[in-house]
Amino acid sequence: MNFNRDRVRSIGWMFVLMVCLGLTLVLMVRVNAMKSQVRLAERQLVALKREKVFLETEFETRSNQQQLRALNDVEFGYSAPTAGQYLSGERQLASLGKAAAPDAPAPIRVASAMADNSGPFPAMVSPLSGKAMAAEPDGKPSNRKPVDTASLSRRLSRIPAQEVIRE
Amino acid sequence: MNAVSVTATIAPGRRQLVNVRRELLLTAKMRVVWLLVLFAVIAATALFRIALLGVLQPASSSQSMHDALLPPRGDIVDRNGIPLARAFPAYSLWFNPKAMGDGGSPLVRSPAEVAAALVHIFPDEDLAKLTARLASGEAGYLKRRILPEEANRVHALGEPALESPFENERLYPQGSMAAHVLGFVAADGHGRVGMEQVFDKQLTDPVARAVPSVLSLDTRVQGALEEELYRGMRDSQAKGAAGIVLDVDTGEVLALASLPGFDPNLINNAGAANIFNRMSNQVYELGSVMKPITVAAAIDGGVVTNLAQRYPAGAPLKIGGFEIHDDENFGPSLNVPEALVHSSNIVLAQVGDRLGGHALRQTMTSLGFNERPYIELPARGMPLWPRSQDGGEWSRITTMTVSFGHGIAISPLHLACAYAALVNGGVWRPATLLKVDPGHIPAGRRVFRAATSARMRQLLRMIVADGTGRKANAAGFRVGGKTGSAEKPGAHGYQKRSLITTFAAAFPMDHPRYVVLVTLDEPQGTTATSGQRTAAWNAAPVVGRVIPRIGPTLGIMPDETRDIDISDISPLVGNGNGG
């Protein structure tokens, strides 16, 4: 075996060429693998988009105006708000908090039942046997204080710890 | 040498055996070699294929993502993007008796059993009909549009004759809503009746159909209008009804309804009878709703310069053998605001007479009353335009009858556009069902002066505040409008009991934004309408209920502290005795 300088050089070039070819081959394979992945993702996208359109159409059909109207007629009975339910602007909103004028009519007070003063609740009775299904609450008056402005503000300012964290 | 001598001693028979064995071994080796070559070729081919797949592009996918998502027919959406018509891939249930291919019974089980199983999946199907259908052995659809899970359950029945082909259907998610505007797609794949027909080219165009076609309609407004219209029609037991909500500044139609309607999802004989559009295709003599147009033309033409001027109204007006009556006697004389509030034919005939046929005709021509209405819909009715005399002008009696809305038949759509011009400052614009870009509002043509339009707004508001339109006076919405109850012409003249009642309104009158027009065909006097059959009792309440529902949706909040100033004309309306 006679390795002269030229021969070694050409073998070296061949080797470099082979390495380059190999690397190119690897790169091409990787590129095509990536392309296939993209194509697969595209196909999934198309399928998902089609499903989305399908679901959206189903939702639109089930919640169409006529269905909503029928639901409102049966369940809620909402009607369009009247002029009195609208505020014309910030000024009118602010006026709601103003103190009543000296000659203004007294505001209507709404009576409320005081649950604390009422007697014990009747216990739940089984409709079949007629027997009490739970113990009757005791008739003792609770030790809850009646709500006044000070106690209410105290209660409202007492924010539970977990709520603070959540917000 | 020894070997040769040994070989030589071997008997000839034995030598022969050795030869056979050698040949056999050779053959076996050759076979192994061939097998190896075969395996090598296969392996090489597989390697080559793997290399090919890895190095070269995998087979290019037949369509891009855009193509895959391109609907076979474009969507139609409302102005807020709510789909009104959509291409919808759906399964249908097809009965193919030849699926078995053996010429025997098309079904594995008996038709009755299969029908019972199908009824279990589709509970609304009729068992007897389905059994007969399967037993007949005729190919055809058993059911259109079935859900994928239903198709799966049918497949699970294991009947090859029950096929569920995948078809592209046209679905209208809102059902019968806006059916006359949308139309439907016929079996040939082309649109019919409404915008499906108008948009047919762009909905099927491969480039244009990717983008949905946007209509000017607002689904919420359309729903409210249809519901209230239906209620008004039911309350008054009318034959039909039509309604429109029109933007006065752009001509966009926000809602257009014609009842009874049809369901474009299911076109059958019952639905086909209702395809006729009463709003754009039917022309009526609309009666008193035309009076504000005459008054506006008279104010514009300088004929009515003083609204306090009184016209005799105590007795029927006799013109060339005809008599013009009022429904009741409102007093010996009336001024123009009173004539509008009480809807006096006698006074309006006099105003029209003073204005003259030429000017009235010109106003009506500029409002487009002599041609089909301007809208994209294919169904547009030709008005019945009064015949001219030799000089091309109307006769005196024609002018007088037209001035209070008789002798001319137009569609309610014509009238809605005219009312828009009446209140928007005097500019007429064609109605359109396409959403108008704020920068591309059509210029329109001026029909009335702005001052005349301002005066008309006051007069229309007064009719609703104090006149026949009180039932449309939705609190806080500043509604203005005019009632019209016209008798329908029959074989023997006008029929006293067959009316066309119309209420044309606009709101809010201090800055009009929308025209709401409602027409009822042959309403009856019922308990719900207090036994009355005129527009004040059936059409006006519909408008009065529609406006509070659509106003806030369209950005018009009710405000009882605001109104158009009518203080300068309200003293003119007295008690009808000239007071």
CB B195, CB B215: distance < 8 Å: yes
Cα gap B370→B377, rounded to integer Å: 18
Q: Which residues of B552-570 are buried (b: 16+ CB within 10 A; e: fewer)?
A: eebebbbbeeeebebeebe
Instruction: Report CB contact under 8 Å: B548, A80.
Output: yes
Report the alpha-carbon distance of residue B125 to residue B128 in Å, rounded. 9
Reported as a pLDDT band with limits 50, 70 and 90, residue A162 is very low
CB-CB contact of B20 with B13 (8 Å): no
C-alpha A132/C-alpha A151 separation (Å) is 37
- What does the pLDDT average to over A130-134? 68
Q: What is the DSSP string of B444-490?
A: -EE-S-HHHHHHHHHHHHHHHHHSTTGGG--TTS--EEEEEEEEEEE
Distances (CA, A) of B402 to B288, B386, B562: 10, 8, 36
d(C-alpha B58, C-alpha A32), whole Å: 7
A112 versus B72: the higher-pLDDT residue is B72
| Terminal Cα-to-Cα distance of chain B (whole angstroms) | 162
B557 touches chain A (CB under 8 A): yes
Instruction: Give the per-residue pLDDT at B76.
Output: 93
Q: Model confidence at A161, in pLDDT bands (50, 70, 90)? A: very low
pLDDT at B70: 85
The pLDDT score that the predictor gives to residue B53 is 77
Give me the DSSP letters along A66-86. Answer: HHHHHHIIIII---PPPGGG-
Q: Euclidean distance between the first and final Cα of chain A, in Å?
A: 83
- Please list the pLDDT of chain B residue by residue as tens digits (579 residues): 454 555 555 567 777 888 999 999 999 999 999 999 999 999 999 998 888 877 776 555 556 777 778 888 999 999 999 999 998 888 888 998 888 877 778 888 888 899 999 999 988 888 899 899 888 888 888 888 788 888 889 999 888 889 888 888 888 999 999 999 999 998 888 998 889 999 999 999 888 888 999 999 999 999 999 999 999 999 999 999 999 999 999 999 999 999 999 999 888 777 788 899 999 999 999 889 999 999 999 999 999 999 999 999 888 888 888 888 888 888 899 999 999 988 899 999 999 999 999 999 999 999 999 999 999 999 899 999 988 877 778 888 999 999 999 989 999 999 999 999 999 999 999 999 999 998 899 889 999 999 999 999 999 999 998 888 889 998 899 999 999 998 888 877 788 888 899 999 999 999 999 999 999 999 998 888 888 888 899 999 999 999 999 999 999 989 888 888 888 888 888 744 333
- Give the pLDDT confidence score for residue B346 in this predicted structure: 93
Question: How close does chain A come to B252, measured CA to CA in Å?
Answer: 21
Question: pLDDT-derived band of residue A164, with 50, 70 and 90 as boundaries?
Answer: very low
| Buried-exposed string B154-168: b where 16+ CB fall within 10 A, e elsewhere | beebebebbbbeeee
| Surface of A (44-103) touching B: CB under 8 A | 45-46, 49-50, 53-54, 56-57, 60-61, 64-66, 68-69, 80-84, 86, 88
Side-chain half-sphere of B91: how many Cα atoms within 13 Å? 15
From residue B123, alpha-carbon distances to B118, B128, B150, B166, B236 in Å are 8, 13, 11, 22, 37
Chain-chain contact of A66 with B171 (C-beta, under 8 angstroms): no
Q: Compute the nearest-CA separation of A59 from chain B (Å).
A: 9
B216 is catalytic: no
Report the relative pairing of strands B213-214 and B76-77 from DSSP bridges: parallel
Residue A116 scores a pLDDT above 70: no
CA dihedral over B557, B558, B563, B564, signed as positive or negative: positive
pLDDT given at position B235: 93
What pLDDT is attached to residue B1? 45
Token pair 């959406």 is at which residue?
A: B77
Shortest distance between the Cα of B6 and any Cα of chain A, in A, equals 48
SS (H, E, C) A84-147: HHCCCCHHHHHHCCCCCCCCCCCCCCCCCCCHHHCCCCCCCECCCCCCECCCCCCCCCCCCCCC
What CA–CA distance (Å, rounded) separates B261 from B226? 10
User: Would you say B483 and B289 are in contact if contact means Cβ atoms under 8 Å apart?
Assistant: yes
- The span from the CA of A139 to the CA of B196, in Å, is 73
**Cβ distance B476 to B509 under 8 Å?**
no
> Using the beta-carbon criterion (under 8 Å), do B223 and A65 form an inter-chain contact?
yes
* HEC profile of B144-185: EEECHHHHHHHHCCCCCCEECCEEEEEECCCCCCCHHHHCEE
Residue B9: predicted pLDDT: 57
Identify any residues that bridge with B252 across adjacent strands, giving them in sequence order. Answer: B432
With 0-12 / 13-18 / 19 or more C-beta atoms within 10 angstroms meaning exposed / middle / buried, residue B502 is buried
| One-letter identity of residue A14 | M
Looking at residue B578, its pLDDT comes to 38
B63: nearest CA partner in chain A = A43
DSSP conformational letter for B434: B
Indicate the residue of A43, A46, A65 with minimum beta-carbon distance to B174: A65
Cα distance between residue B274 and residue B47, in whole Å: 69
Residue A143 confidence (pLDDT) above 60: no
> Could you give the ipTM of this predicted complex?
0.74
Distance of alpha carbon B550 from alpha carbon B219, whole angstroms: 11
Contacts of B423 (CB under 8 A, 6+ apart): B248, B453, B456, B457, B460, B480, B506, B509, B512, B515
For residue B288, give the DSSP letter. G
Question: Which residue among A32, A33, A83 places its CB closest to the CB of B476?
Answer: A83
Cis peptide before B260 (omega within 30 of 0): yes
CA B213 from centroid of its chain's CA atoms:
13
Render B6-51 in DSSP notation, one character per residue: HHHHS-HHHHHHHHHHHHHHHHHHHHHHHHHHHHHHHHHHHHHHHH
Catalytic annotation, pick one of B213, B216, B258, B288 = B288
Give the pair of three-digit tokens for residue B238.
């009318």
**Mutate which of A61, A63, A67, A87 to test chain B, going by most B C-beta atoms within 10 A?**
A61
Q: Output the CA angle A41-A47-A50, nearest 5 degrees.
A: 140
Nearest alpha-carbon partner for B453 in B296, B568, B336, B295: B296
Residue B412, judged by CB atoms within 10 A of its CB (0-12, 13-18, 19+), counts as: buried
Q: Would you state the pLDDT for residue B576?
A: 40
How many A/B residue pairs have CB atoms within 8 Å?
87
β-partners of residue B446 are: B427
Reading the block at residue A8, the tokens are 């070694």
What is the C-alpha to C-alpha distance for residues B270 and B267, in angstroms, rounded to an integer?
Answer: 8
